[in-house]
Structure 1
Amino acid sequence: MEWQEISGNWVYLPRQEIIGIVHFLGGAFVATAPQFSYSSILEQIAQAGYGIVATPFLNTFDHLAIAREVLNRFETALERLQKTNRLGKRYLPIYGIGHSMGCKLHLLIGSLYEVERAGNILISFNNYPANRAIPLMEQFDLSPVFDVEFIPSPLQTEQLIADNYCIRRNLLIKFSQDDLDQTIDLNPVLQKRFPEMITLRTLTGTHLTPLSQNIRWQTGEIFTPFDAIGQWVNQKLSGNLMELKQEVLTWLNPMLAF
């Protein structure tokens, strides 16, 4: 199976019977090509029987408009897949998975629209103001000049989630070496809304772990110190990605834990 473009989404369907659908939204500056930037983790999830619909987007200051657009495109792709009977005829649960800004978009969708979701997985959530989220503005202190902020602002976003978020079951994932992560702030907001339905996990890795790729390191005829370093780095990255994959799949289907 290969990635296919359907209604502005990138779709990857497993060869075996599909047991669920994942709507994936990536980070702000890597979300334009999720079929490349997140290919390893998404294809591994697909191999467990989940159809992947990854919706690319361009980041703007209007996150409300982005959330509405990615939801519309996802629902259009889902309708086309159902009409062509590529998903089978039985009920399939739908899960949202977001990384970084993708978390915020799933939270906005779950707060503003009546969507059917069996749960959301929110990886490395952050909700920074524009002057911190956009490096150029912070580096050159441009925010007073342009006087811009994301729509909704970080405070408005938190209030929307606290008042209206309707997806009951959620897995929050943060990484041990992630200075951009704000999951620790999101967790109590969701816990208050849905006690005992929120799971928080801290895994080894960084903010970029979901972007890791499984690469087979090829050595030359002579094994060099450079090869040793390359294999060690690749093992570390692959190990962190494997841990993330296992955590995601176990939460999606708890029977995998037994």
Structure 2
Amino acid sequence: MSRWRQQGSLWCLEPPVSTGVIEFIGGSYLAATPQISYRRLLEALCRRGLSLRAWSYVPGFDHQAQATEAWRAFRGARQGTPALPVLRLGHSLGCKLHLLAPDGGRGSSALVAMSFNNFSADRSIPLLADLAPRLGVRTEFSPSPQETLRLVSQLYGVPRNLLIRFGNDPLDQSPPLLEVLQQRPGDGSSLLQLGGDHLTPASAGLRQNLLGPWADDPLRQRQIDRLAATIDSWWRQDGGQAERG
């Protein structure tokens, strides 16, 4: 496995032989340094023969614009490379950005959405609920939570989606998303609940980078290893990975 390298706004990691590409978008401010915050999970997937493209960003209010920016970065990275199947992988806000991609998901064979988060701005940023009325402004993410689900129902075209919900995660909003997805003709989406919490995909790599190897939590590491195995196995089953992105 090669070292992480930066390509514009993407952090890339390559296995010796690649059988597919994962386009990853993380959640909230963890996504500013995905090669650190999500290192353990992404490297575990790379060891399974998957190339990694992780988008680095700082969240804003215009989620549609950021979804388009991420999509363009991923599309640019594909140019001049062998055609391999593409899995889009998101965590928290990253799931929403993948779902809002301007191609409606057509550039991928499937999506794995971990801890889908679609809260309003004042719920996501508590201070905003207090300040906005005092300042006489109304601030909301674009698209809003309701508009996001409407856009998914009308424009998102990928039938194969795995929603992963962790047991101790009050921020997860996977069930409403699953309901919208399953209302589409020919949908094959499913929901899987695993042990852990909202930070399960990110915590081990972040903790070790900040505190050193002594801070590793064996339970967290086992959870991440199981998560990587689950994602890889689900994508490969029924020949789904053979679809070209």
TM more than 0.5: yes
Provide the secondary structure at the position in 1 that maps to 2:163: strand
Using the alignment, how far apart are the partners of 2:219 and 2:69 within structure 1? Answer: 37
- Contact 1:7/1:76 (<8 A) preserved: no
5+ residue gaps, structure 1: 83-88, 219-229
Counterpart residue identity of residue 132, structure 2: S
C-alpha displacement of 1:28: 1.5
- The residue number in structure 2 matching 1:166 is 157
Per-residue CA deviation, residues 42-98 of structure 1 (Å, 9 max, x unaligned), is 010011011000011121110111011111111112215x1xxxxxx4x41011000
- The residue number in structure 2 matching 1:95 is 87
- The residue number in structure 2 matching 1:26 is 26
Provide the secondary structure at the position in 1 that maps to 2:35: helix
C-alpha displacement of 1:134: 1.3
C-alpha displacement of 1:185: 1.1
Alignment of 1:136-151 (within 5 A): 136-138=127-129, 141-144=130-133, 145=135, 146-151=137-142
C-alpha displacement of 1:119: 0.2
Using the alignment, how far apart are the partners of 1:5 and 1:39 within structure 2? Answer: 14
- Contact 1:61/1:149 (<8 A) preserved: yes
Using the alignment, how far apart are the partners of 1:240 and 1:247 within structure 2? Answer: 10
Give the 3 Å change call, closer, same or farther, for CA 13–249 of structure 1 in structure 2.
Answer: same
Aligned length: 231
1:250 to 226, 233, 238: 233
5+ residue gaps, structure 2: 240-245
Using the alignment, how far apart are the partners of 1:255 and 1:12 within structure 2? Answer: 26
Per-residue CA deviation, residues 1-30 of structure 1 (Å, 9 max, x unaligned), is 100111321000002x21101100000111
TM-score between the two structures when normalised by the length of structure 2: 0.88
Look at both structures and tell me which one has the larger radius of gyration over its CA atoms. 1
Alignment of 1:111-122 (within 5 A): 113=104, 115-122=106-113
Using the alignment, how far apart are the partners of 1:166 and 1:251 within structure 2? Answer: 19
Per-residue CA deviation, residues 114-138 of structure 1 (Å, 9 max, x unaligned), is 6321100000001011001113224
Per-residue CA deviation, residues 196-225 of structure 1 (Å, 9 max, x unaligned), is 51121000000000002266965xxxxxxx
Per-residue CA deviation, residues 144-188 of structure 1 (Å, 9 max, x unaligned), is 233110111111101001111111110100000000000011111
C-alpha displacement of 1:252: 1.6
The answer to whether structure 1 residue 197 and structure 2 residue 185 are counterparts is no
Alignment of 1:69-84 (within 5 A): 69-79=69-79, 82=81
RMSD: 2.1
- The residue number in structure 2 matching 1:237 is 220
Using the alignment, how far apart are the partners of 1:188 and 1:255 within structure 2? Answer: 23
Using the alignment, how far apart are the partners of 2:42 and 2:105 within structure 1? Answer: 26
- The residue number in structure 1 matching 2:12 is 11
- The residue number in structure 1 matching 2:147 is 156
Q: Where in structure 1 do 4 or more consecutive aligned residues deviate above 6 Å?
A: none
TM-score between the two structures when normalised by the length of structure 1: 0.83
- Contact 1:14/1:51 (<8 A) preserved: yes
Using the alignment, how far apart are the partners of 1:188 and 1:114 within structure 2? Answer: 18
